[in-house]
Amino acid sequence: MEVSRELNNQANEYISHYPNDQKRSASLPLLHLLQQEYGHINEESVNWVAEKLGIEPIHVLELVTFYPGFRQTAPGKYHIRVCRTLSCAMAGCYETMEKFCEVAGIDRSKVSHHNPIAVSEDGKFSIEFAECLASCGTGPVCLIGDEFHESVKADNVAEIIEKYD
């Protein structure tokens, strides 16, 4: 896999944060870089990280399959993560989730533990439940890409979705 020079430089910078004999520590930072660039992590990305760090691909893959923060399937143009955990649920996050799916045209009936992401037919939005986003006082909350939204009641979902073009 060819990556941009910029990405490669950034990867080298991350690797320099750890002792010379502990390159493996840069696994998560490198995976984040690749996910940021390509939207999700595929086999090529896993192999690239493994080669870059001088470790076996399985040691990268086992991270991708463990951490919920890494996606193995392509998300939509905008990826929505709705907090599912207690305070947000008490504030109505399940209703928020239903509304997001309705407005963005997403069918969540096929999602499962190993395949948590559902994408809209037009590929514009994808959505998943996330566990506690640590803003329990302003629930329901969600992340759209890297942007954080607070007090996302079902009633204001449509208005938020509109901002994403």
Partner 1 sequence: MAAPKYIKGKEPHKSEYRMIFRNVDRRGWDTSIKSYIADGGYKDLKKALKMKPQEVTDEVKTSGLRGRGGAGFPTGVKWGFIPPNNKKPVYLICNCDESEPGTFKDRYIVHQDPHQLIEGMLISCYAVGAKVAYIYIREEFPEGAKILEDAIEEARKKNFLGKKILGGKFNCEIYVHRGAGAYICGEETGLIESLEGKRPYPRIKPPYFPAALGLYMCPTIVNNVESLCNVKHIIAMGGQKYAKIGTPRNTGTRILCVSGDVIRPGYFEVEVGKITMGELINDVCGGLRKGRKLKGVIPGGSSAKVLRAGEKYTIGTGESERTIGINEIPMDFDTLAACGSMAGSGGVIVMDDSRDMTWILNNINTFYAHESCGQCTPCREGSLWMKKITDRMVSGSGVPSDLKTLTSVGDNIAGRTICAFGEACAWPTQSFVAKFPEDFKKHTSRRNAGKELNPESKAAAAGLKR
Cβ contact 106:120 at 8 Å: yes
* First-residue to last-residue Cα distance in the chain: 30
Q: Name the residue type at position 112.
A: S
Among 97, 104, 117, 157, binds partner 1 (CB under 8 A): 97
Among 135, 140, 144, 157, binds partner 1 (CB under 8 A): 135
- Binding string, residues 21-40; x marks residues near partner 1 by CB under 8 A: -x-xxxxxx-xx--------
CB atoms within 10 A of CB 148: 13
**Phi, then psi, of 99 in degrees rounded to 5:** -65, -45
Cβ contact 52:11 at 8 Å: yes
Among 45, 52, 70, 100, binds partner 1 (CB under 8 A): 70
Site for partner 1, rule CB under 8 A: 17, 19, 22, 24-29, 31-32, 53, 55, 59, 62-63, 66-70, 81, 84-87, 89-90, 94-95, 97-98, 109, 112-113, 130-139, 143, 146, 148
